[in-house]
Structure 1
Amino acid sequence: MNVLVIGGGIAGATTAMALQRAGIEAAVYEAYPKAADGVGGALTLSPNGRNALRQIDADDAVAAAGLEVPGMVMQNHKGRAVGRFDGLAGLPSSLLMRRDRLYRALMDEALSRGITVEFGKRLKTIENKPDQVVAHFADGSSAAGDVLIGADGIRSAVRSTLDPAAASPRYAGLLGLGGWIRNPGLPVTGNYQHFAFGKRAFFGYFIDADEILWFSNVPAADPAEAETASPEHWLSVLRERHADDVPARDIIALLKPEDVGQPGVLEDIPTVRTWHRGRVVLVGDAAHPTSPSSGQGASQAIESSLELARALRDSPDVATAFAQYEAARRERVERIIARAGKINNDKGAGPVARIMRDLLMPVVMKTVMKPEKMFGDLHRHRIEFAPSRASV
């Protein structure tokens, strides 16, 4: 079997490696002319994502590019801790990573394994034939294979070819600002990530001896504002939204306009109606785009890459493989997307809802929201993926 993977991001690289481990040849076609160095902010790779990477022997390469974090602390706007989540027994720690370093680690690992990667290949059209699939690119070239996998993100061109009426990304009502700055001497957070429900916006931070990672989710009615307003405007917004929040205001006081940049738009698609047709199938954010609030985007992409490769390896035909893959993944990822949607609603809560949330949170964190109950099913999910004999 010969597979075309459209998209060289997290899902594309891990899918190609999983297919290779399954004894299936795959080549990756990336739209951009080079790797995504310096692109994107930070993300968390959860224990389930790391366990999936271990199935294809890629966790060590990724861990070397990130920082292990044993848990997280939830705070109110006064900086008081209202709850703490430690890692679950028997699982690896989460990894806090710069997004571009995760891209680079996965891409370098794929290339080191001899996987073909071609840059500057922006998909134009697909011929989904009974006996093969052909991808045509904007540069006039084309590639043919037995299967085409769309790993091209939330605005997937492959998804649009499968279902021209597919749902568009849904705006969550929040804009995301954030970045890394030098630490001038603020107390370190002891490798714990901190998340605070501020009075008028949500704030997260991580502080070590050298750097501060910060981010803010700011409610905004019009997502177009993210593209039109200046960094100076957004710095002013941050100062106003977090004026009463500790320690957010102290971190924001250190920022310069160039530290702020252009916001990202928090989006998701609750249900992607069509995951596959003929010889074409979706994976990662192309199939199940969740907002960053899930903390699971990368991890779910990696899980799906393994399930898809396993199905293609073990099933008698492509149609059966795709159906088995979707059956194994759809319910889980849509539950995670819905959960992230509820978190987004909490982040953008109005004054009355915010007061109720702040009153109830300390009690809830000590009763309902215990680590095993909150994250057990999510983080303990494991995909057994033994390599094929052909790849050993």
Structure 2
Amino acid sequence: MTKVRTAIVIGGGIAGPVTALGLRKAGIEAAVFEAYPSTADGVGGSIAIAPNGQAALEVVGAREAVTAAALPVRRTAMSFGGRKVGLPQLEGLPALRLVRRADLYRALRDVALDHGVRIEHGRRLVAAEQDATGVTARFADGSTATADILIGADGIHSTVRTLIDPDAPGPGYTGTLGFEAVVDRPVPGEPGTMVFAFGRKAYYLYWSRPDGRTGWGANLPQDEPMTLAEARAVPAEKWLDRLREAYGDDDPGGELVRHIDPGDLQVTGSLHIMPSVPRWHRGRMVLVGDAVHAPSNSSGQGASLAVESALELARCLRDRPDAQAAFAAYERLRRPRVERIAARAAKVNRLKAPGPVTSALMPLLMRVMTKTVLTPEKNLGPEQRYRVEWDLPVPAGA
């Protein structure tokens, strides 16, 4: 029986509310403290929820709310040099779900509130103090909160990560900026089909929507990272000029970009990836989600891994006698899986912002990549068929 009875969860994005829901299911009272003064409307682009992520959401009663706000992606294809190859799907799994980040945040928040989780906005963490009896979080507005443990679900720029280890690495820039739009123009293919396209100068993707329009996203090479505020301060027409230059010769990428209205272009910001984090926990503090493992968006697993880790952390806290034993078991269970997926995604990510050598080798690299994705059971099966075994005790060796 765990000695942990209360928890402070820092961050109200994806991992935070799910962690709180998992902790409540494990008999631990949890409150979520979010830095933003309100919900995250308008923040971020679209997020994929893989079958393994959907299964994890089911455990805490959040799957239905999330999938109701999402577009099912039932077919995928890869395109290079105008050649499109349909990709086989894993048998017996639900469709990938594509959901706007703000809609996902809202759905998870509403489920958490319905289950009695307290969520407080405008509470930006600035410090934390630990002793033998608990941990006290101090916020920028001068308020405090005290509990048995503190969980950092505060994203890739985590404050909690620095409090745990002042020398912890920060996020690495992938060399690309993210953009999205809904284009008032159809593309060939059935609704719910997503195409991953490696253009001559940059990567993009597009998907057919039920309303006949086309969802579009791009990873535009950019030497220096920009904050979201900096990127959004650039007039949309200037970004569209760069996008037209990058995708002008691609089919259908160039055609789609030429039909994007400046008012419909959404800048989602610099794309980052977390390197391996040496310390996942210290004392009464621990990290979860993007704060400790954020693979590049090439993985298609960032949100799903965050949800899995939230559940696994709650499960370990349920089954271990104290926080230190639970945190150690949680890290042993999660680190190998998340770092393996991050390594796979990093290889793909290098194709999105290719240098001169990679560009020259792109046809060969794409042939190798196509062979890989054409054997999904071997390469993606272990990722997407994974399930957190909530109803079983944490193994003794973990």
TM-score (normalizing by structure 1): 0.93
Q: Which moved more, 1:193-202 or 1:172-181?
A: 172-181
Cα RMSD, aligned residues only: 1.9
Give the whole-Å Cα distance in 1 for the aligned partners of 2:299 and 2:59: 23
Give the whole-Å Cα distance in 1 for the aligned partners of 2:65 and 2:202: 35
Would you say 1:283 and 2:288 are equivalent positions? yes
Give the whole-Å Cα distance in 1 for the aligned partners of 2:22 and 2:239: 41
Q: Which moved more, 1:332-341 or 1:44-53?
A: 332-341
Q: Matches of residues 215-364 of structure 1 in structure 2 within 5 Å?
A: 215-224=217-226, 227=230, 229-359=234-364, 361-362=366-367
Letter in 1 for 2:128: I
User: Is there any run of 5+ residues in structure 1 with no aligned partner, and where?
Assistant: none
Give the whole-Å Cα distance in 2 for the aligned partners of 1:379 and 1:233: 39
The residue number in structure 1 matching 2:84 is 81
User: Is there any run of 5+ residues in structure 2 with no aligned partner, and where?
Assistant: 394-398
The residue number in structure 1 matching 2:120 is 118
Give the whole-Å Cα distance in 1 for the aligned partners of 2:11 and 2:293: 15
Offset of 1:366 from its aligned partner? 4.3
Aligned to 1:154, what secondary structure does the other structure show? coil
Give the whole-Å Cα distance in 1 for the aligned partners of 2:265 and 2:307: 30
The residue number in structure 1 matching 2:55 is 51
**1:303-355 CA distances to partner (integer Å, 9 max, x unpaired)?**
00011000000001111000000000011111222222111111122355335
Letter in 2 for 1:218: L
1:369–1:387 Cα change, 3 Å: closer
1:225–1:316 Cα change, 3 Å: closer
Instruction: From 163, 169, 172, give the equivalent of 1:170.
Output: 172
Aligned to 1:200, what secondary structure does the other structure show? coil
Alignment check: 8 A CA contact 1:174 1:344 kept:
no
TM-score (normalizing by structure 2): 0.92
Instruction: From 60, 64, 68, give the equivalent of 2:64.
Output: 60
**1:74-114 CA distances to partner (integer Å, 9 max, x unpaired)?**
01132x2134132x222222101111111111110000111
Letter in 1 for 2:6: N
The residue number in structure 2 matching 1:138 is 140
Would you say 1:13 and 2:14 are equivalent positions? no
Give the whole-Å Cα distance in 2 for the aligned partners of 1:68 and 1:261: 21
Offset of 1:188 from its aligned partner? 4.7
Aligned residues: 385
Offset of 1:371 from its aligned partner? 1.2
Give the whole-Å Cα distance in 1 for the aligned partners of 2:191 and 2:65: 24
The residue number in structure 1 matching 2:396 is none
Alignment check: 8 A CA contact 1:7 1:30 kept:
yes
Alignment check: 8 A CA contact 2:88 2:374 kept:
no
